[in-house]
């Protein structure tokens, strides 16, 4: 079924006289009142394969337990390996932050997305800030959502980097939001170290290998807001089918639901669980395992009645790091499935050449190969 999912048209907005994109801003509040979906939000029918009505059961890993019990770590590595080979996703709980703090994070996210459209437009910046349906990048097949993005560097002594980023984008009145997001990103940093150790053990490589590789990671924090869509059955999607190009995604959902994972050749719902985060393997970590672990194919449906919020912590290596699997994963006669590449090159490809979809990494490798000069005389 994956091969039947079409590539998405890139279709960037036209340029104005200054060479900047002419952006069409959509007001979801007005669209909801109108009760119709503009043509820009209609997705190809192939992306709208009906949900199976079934629920996917993912391994649930107790982070507190595996940090203190080697037997628990070994068992977790075993079941995570199976899940990552099959579909590329698992869940974690007991991550070291309480439910009250999670509620604070979601409340600050809600406050930000309730800002007037004019404020959101003023907080649009390169690679960060607000985006309304990604309309600053595309003109067709738009996701029914808004996003708010900022960067997070793992290996830095700047313990106010997120506070500073929020202040720069939204102003001093959002200092509390900055403090909450700073604490959340710090927690995701610590969690990612445990996950990288777990993944290394599951792969049978040096347990510190991926921790070292990502010690100076440059991650991206994205808050997502999916407004209700009264005409949600007419072709709108919160996110179409895609694999994340990053290394791993750490996802916090509210309790609305809408996320679906493609496994066993069908779309399976993943209902949210309290105090539980979802871990998705992305294209870059797939490459770091020489294709053994699968990049998780997923999509997001929208509700016709209630809004949905989520937070995605996209873990990325430093931009100039060479993405290459450890030699322990390469058998004597086993061919490399992906050539070495720099994460920044893949990221730029997704921003300037091709939209993220189910085959982003394959398309990037093919594009890069065709773009390189021939060695023949």
CB 248 within 8 A of CB 195: yes
pLDDT for residue 62: 98
pLDDT the model gives residue 153: 95
List the one residue out of 269, 264, 263 whose CA is nearest residue 281.
263
Domains in the chain (CATH in brackets) are 19-367 (2.60.120.330)
Q: What is the pLDDT of residue 28?
A: 87
332 vs 181, higher pLDDT: 181
Flag whether pLDDT at 376 surpasses 50: no
pLDDT-wise least confident of 25-34, 74-83, 276-285? 25-34
Q: Is 354 a catalytic residue?
A: no
For the stretch 298-311, pLDDT in tens is 999 999 889 999 99
- Mean pLDDT, the chain, as a whole number? 91
Which residues, other chains included, contact 213 with Cβ-Cβ below 8 Å and sequence gap of 6+? 196, 288, 317, 321
Indicate the DSSP class of residue 182. H
Residue of 308, 318, 355, 368 marked catalytic: 308
What confidence category does residue 6 fall into, taking pLDDT thresholds of 50, 70 and 90? low
pLDDT, tens digit, for every residue of 144-168? 999 999 999 998 877 899 999 999 9
Q: Comparing C-alpha atoms, which of 256, 251, 261, 260 is closest to residue 272?
A: 256
Q: How confident is the model at residue 230 (pLDDT cuts 50, 70, 90)?
A: confident
pTM over 0.75: yes
Q: Residue 9 pLDDT more than 80? A: no
Is the per-residue pLDDT at 233 higher than 90?
no
Question: CA angle 169-170-171, nearest 5°?
Answer: 110
How far apart (Å, rounded) are the C-alpha atoms in residues 184 and 97? 9
At residue 10, the pLDDT reads 60
Contacts within 8 Å (CB) and 24+ apart, 318-322: 318/216, 318/217, 318/218, 318/343, 319/218, 319/343, 319/344, 319/347, 320/344, 321/213
d(CA 102, CA 107) in angstroms, rounded, equals 9
Lowest mean pLDDT among 25-29, 264-268, 314-318: 25-29
């Amino acid at each position: 079924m994956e091969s039947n999912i079409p590539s998405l048209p890139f279709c960037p907005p036209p340029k104005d006289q200054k060479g900047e994109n002419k952006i069409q801003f959509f007001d979801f509040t007005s669209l909801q009142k109108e009760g119709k979906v503009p043509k820009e939000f209609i997705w190809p029918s192939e992306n709208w394969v009906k949900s199976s009505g079934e629920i996917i059961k993912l391994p649930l890993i107790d982070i507190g337990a595996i940090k203190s019990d080697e037997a628990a770590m070994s068992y977790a590595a075993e079941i995570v390996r199976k899940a990552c080979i099959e579909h590329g996703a698992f869940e974690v709980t007991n991550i070291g932050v309480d439910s009250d703090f999670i509620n604070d994070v979601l409340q600050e996210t809600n406050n930000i997305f309730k800002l007037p459209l004019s404020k959101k437009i003023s907080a649009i910046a390169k690679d960060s800030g607000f985006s309304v349906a990604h309309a600053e990048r595309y003109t067709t097949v738009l996701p029914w959502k808004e996003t708010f993005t900022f960067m997070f560097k793992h290996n830095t002594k700047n313990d106010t980097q997120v506070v500073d980023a929020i202040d720069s984008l939204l102003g001093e009145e959002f200092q509390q939001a900055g403090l909450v997001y700073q604490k959340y990103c710090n927690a995701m940093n610590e969690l990612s170290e445990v996950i990288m150790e777990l993944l290394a053990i599951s792969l049978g490589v040096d347990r510190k290998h991926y921790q070292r590789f990502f010690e100076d990671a440059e991650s991206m924090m994205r808050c997502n807001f999916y407004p209700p869509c009264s005409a949600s059955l007419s072709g709108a999607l919160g996110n179409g089918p895609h694999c994340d190009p990053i290394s791993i995604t750490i996802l916090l959902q509210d309790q609305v639901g809408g996320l679906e994972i493609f496994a066993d050749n069908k779309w399976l719902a993943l209902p949210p669980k309290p105090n539980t985060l979802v871990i998705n393997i992305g294209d870059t970590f797939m490459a770091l395992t020489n294709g053994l672990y699968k990049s998780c194919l997923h999509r997001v449906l929208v509700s016709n009645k209630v809004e949905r919020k989520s937070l995605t912590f996209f873990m990325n290596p430093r931009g100039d790091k060479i993405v290459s699997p450890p030699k322990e994963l390469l058998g004597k006669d086993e061919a490399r499935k992906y050539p070495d590449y720099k994460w920044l090159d893949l990221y730029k490809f997704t921003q300037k050449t091709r939209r993220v979809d189910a085959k982003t990494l394959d398309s990037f490798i093919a594009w890069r190969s065709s773009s390189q000069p021939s060695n023949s005389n």
